Amino acid sequence: MSSPSAWWTVILVVGALNYLSRLSFIAVFARVEMSPPVARALRFVPAAMLTAIVVPAVVFVAPATLVFSYTNPKLVAALIAALVAWRTKSATATMAAGMVALWIVQWLLHAAA
């Protein structure tokens, strides 16, 4: 097993780096005026980053194995969940619909196999 010092070194250094990353621009732009192009770019952060987090979790069925078809239950479930999110704007409904859809598609594929 690994040494305890490795754990605490990683915890303290990564913890500090994460905090500094989180604080970085909040501290800087409290003093410095933000240039208009930067302000424009930042509007796209939520859409771009959240998509970059969600998509790999949905389209990869295994590391480096992309599946873009109905045989990927996660893809079907995510599309249904996205539709529910768009219509209801409710996180609970989105997660519930996505999970139920996933179970149904998994069960159907299992029954068909």
Partner 1 sequence: MSRIFSRPDFIAGARDMTPPLLGLLPFGLVCGVAAQSAGASILEALGMSALIFSGAAQILATQLIAADAPVAVTVLTCFVVGLRFLMYSAAMAPHLRGLPPRWRNAISFLLTDQVFAAGIRRFRETGDLRNGASYFLGSGVLLWTTWQASCLVGYWAGNVIPTAWSLDFVVPLCFLALLVPALEDRSTRVAAFAAGVAVVALDALPMRLSLICAGVVGIAAGMIAETRRRTR
Which three-class secondary structure state does DSSP give residue 64? coil
How does DSSP assign the chain, residue by residue? ---HHHHHHHHHHHHHHHHHHHHHHHHHTTTSPPPHHHHHHHTTHHHHHHHHHHHHHHHEEETTEE--STT-HHHHHHHHHHHHHHHH--HHHHHHHHHHHHHHHHHHHHHH-
Q: How far is the CB of 76 from partner 1 (least distance, A)?
A: 12
**Least distance to partner 1 from the beta carbon of 80, Å?**
10
Nearer to partner 1 by Cβ, of 107 and 112: the residue is 107
| Among 70, 71, 103, 107, interactor with partner 1 by CB under 8 A | 103
Question: 4 vs 112, which CB is nearer to partner 1?
Answer: 4
Question: How many chain residues are in contact with partner 1, going by CB under 8 A?
Answer: 71
- We find the least distance from the C-beta atom of residue 38 to partner 1, in angstroms, to be 7
Where in 41-100 is the site for partner 1 (CB under 8 A)?
41-60, 64, 66, 74, 77-78, 81-82, 85-86, 89-92, 94-95, 98-99
